[in-house]
């Protein structure tokens, strides 16, 4: 019986994001299994194994990921190794904790595309009509905030319908799936490391073979050679610039928090600096605080000095050089670049 797969038990509201992460990376040993969204349901407790009918025989380990909904499920009996992971709030999986907490303090009603696709069912389960829904949500919420992961093309229309039903203002925050990818990748890499650990009873020669055969992708505790597309770039002056550090081109949407106030897009990064897409021009020499989110558990706080800024059709591409960066921060940046690789 094959038991080498990891099963990720995800809420149905986040299955499309999870599928997108698994399909975009090298995760042939990982399966995504959805369980019903029961946040507001009065359904009886159900064994988690009930949502793994055919996959159960192929999964050696499983991680049940959920917030308050985990209280609605029983732990399955049997040989399946199950780990329960509670991120605190499901929204912490797709965006940084500080951003989520800030919206919650503003009494925002936060939603994701998965919820938005079935909001009418949610209203029915809450036994609300338009009048009662507007009264209830008007008391507890000031606005609707959609964390748009980009997995659904119809979110704009559905958000307008939901906002009109509740008579609340709505805004969209384009978070993408990079934060969610790092969240899942950390779980997967931790499982792979644990799975590949040699047993005490294994002969020394066998242990050495397992170490030599271990995939390089899991070696994230040291700064590895960074893989990706590295190029010499043309600066604002139009001349080719030689760089001290190799620059890693970001191929997927990735956001950085600048000055603790706005999210800007990361274009590329190296151990010496980064290039951002910013809505306005920043004068050279200015120092700005930068915050990168390499995983759900940690943040990298850096300072960057503006070196150049170049106008583009819809934004300003801005190059910043890291200032006063220490060895620990440089090590963290290297690990962050490694996490961005498939």
125 and 59, same domain (yes or no): no
- Same domain, yes or no: 129 and 144: yes
Q: What is the mean pLDDT of the chain?
A: 78
Domain boundary among 41, 58, 89: 89
Is residue 128 situated within a structural domain? yes
Q: Is this model's pTM higher than 0.75 or not? A: no
- Overall average pLDDT of the 18-23 stretch: 91
Q: Are residues 243 and 334 in the same domain?
A: yes
Residue 266 domain-assigned?
Answer: yes
Same domain, 17 and 85: yes
* Region of poorest pLDDT, from 25-39, 128-142, 300-314, 326-340: 326-340
Tell me the per-residue pLDDT of 74-83, one tens digit each, with 9 for 90 and over: 766 665 677 8
Q: Is the pLDDT of residue 5 over 50?
A: yes
Same domain, 237 and 335: yes
In a domain, 152, yes or no: yes
Which candidate, 60, 312, 99, 47, places its Cα nearest to that of 195?
Answer: 60
By residue count, the chain amounts to 342
Cβ–Cβ under 8 Å, residues 104 and 140: no
- Tell me, yes or no, whether 79 and 99 share the same domain: no
Same domain, 241 and 322: yes
pLDDT score, position 212:
46
Q: Are residues 250 and 325 in the same domain?
A: yes
Percent of the chain clearing pLDDT 90 (strictly above) = 30
User: Do 243 and 303 fall within a single domain?
Assistant: yes
Q: Which domain holds residue 66?
A: 5-89
pLDDT for 295: 57
Q: Domain count for the chain, please give it.
A: 3
CATH number where 261 lies: 2.40.10.220
Report the alpha-carbon distance of residue 164 to residue 123 in Å, rounded.
14
- What are the CA-CA distances from residue 302 to residues 91, 104, 262, 287 (Å)? 25, 26, 15, 10
Query: Residue 160: what pLDDT?
Result: 95
Question: Is the pLDDT score of 214 beyond 50?
Answer: no
For residues 304 and 145, give the distance between their C-alpha atoms in angstroms, rounded to a whole number.
30
82 lies in the same domain as 100? no
In a domain? residue 131: yes
Are both 79 and 123 inside the same structural domain?
A: no
* Separation in Å, CA 66 to CA 48, 55, 71, 209, 266: 12, 19, 9, 37, 29
pLDDT by residue (tens digit) across 266-319?
Answer: 888 888 899 999 988 899 999 999 988 765 556 889 999 999 999 888 889 999
Q: Quote the longest CA-to-CA distance of the chain.
A: 72
53 and 102 inside one domain:
no
| Of 36, 68, 89, the domain-final residue | 89
Q: What is the pLDDT of residue 107?
A: 92
Point out the domain boundary residue: 48, 66, 89: 89
* Pair of tokens at residue 130: 């338009």
| pLDDT score at 52 | 67
Whether 316 is in a domain gets the answer yes
pLDDT in tens, 123-149: 888 888 999 999 989 988 999 999 999
Considering the domain boundaries, does residue 181 fall inside one? no
Choice between 182 and 160, residue whose per-residue pLDDT is larger: 160
* Residue 320 belongs to a domain: yes
Q: Is residue 105 part of a domain?
A: yes
For 198, what's the count of Cα atoms within 13 Å in the CB-facing half-sphere? 15
Paired strand residues for 276: 266, 318
């Amino acid at each position: 019986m094959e038991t080498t797969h990891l099963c990720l038990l995800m809420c149905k509201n986040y299955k499309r994001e999870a599928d997108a992460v698994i399909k975009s990376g090298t995760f042939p040993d990982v399966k995504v299994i959805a369980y019903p969204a029961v946040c507001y349901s009065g359904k009886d407790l159900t064994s988690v194994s009930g949502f793994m009918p055919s996959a159960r025989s192929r999964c050696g380990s499983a991680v049940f990921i959920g917030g308050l909904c985990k209280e609605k499920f029983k732990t399955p009996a049997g040989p399946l190794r199950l780990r329960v992971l509670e991120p605190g709030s499901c929204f912490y999986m797709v965006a940084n904790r500080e951003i989520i907490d800030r919206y919650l303090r503003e009494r925002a009603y936060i939603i994701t595309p998965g919820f938005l696709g079935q909001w009418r069912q949610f209203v029915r389960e809450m036994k609300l009509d338009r009048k009662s829904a507007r009264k209830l949500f008007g008391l507890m919420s000031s606005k609707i905030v959609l964390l748009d992961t980009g997995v659904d093309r119809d979110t704009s229309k559905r958000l307008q319908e939901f906002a009109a039903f509740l008579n609340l203002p709505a805004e969209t925050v384009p978070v993408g799936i990079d934060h969610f990818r790092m969240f899942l990748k950390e779980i997967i890499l931790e499982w792979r490391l644990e799975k590949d650990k040699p047993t005490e009873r294994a002969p020394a020669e066998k242990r050495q073979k397992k170490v030599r055969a271990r995939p390089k992708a899991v070696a994230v505790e040291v700064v590895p050679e960074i893989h990706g597309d590295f190029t010499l770039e043309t600066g604002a002056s139009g001349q080719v610039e030689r760089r001290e550090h190799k620059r890693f081109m970001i191929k997927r949407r990735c956001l950085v928090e600048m000055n603790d106030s706005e999210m800007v897009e990361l274009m590329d990064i190296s151990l010496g600096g980064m290039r951002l897409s910013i809505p306005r021009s920043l004068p050279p020499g200015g120092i700005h605080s930068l915050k990168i989110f390499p995983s759900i558990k940690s943040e990298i706080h850096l300072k960057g000095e503006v070196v150049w800024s170049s106008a583009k059709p819809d934004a300003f591409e801005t190059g910043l050089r890291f200032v006063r960066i220490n060895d620990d921060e440089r090590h963290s940046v290297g690990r962050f670049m490694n996490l961005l690789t498939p």
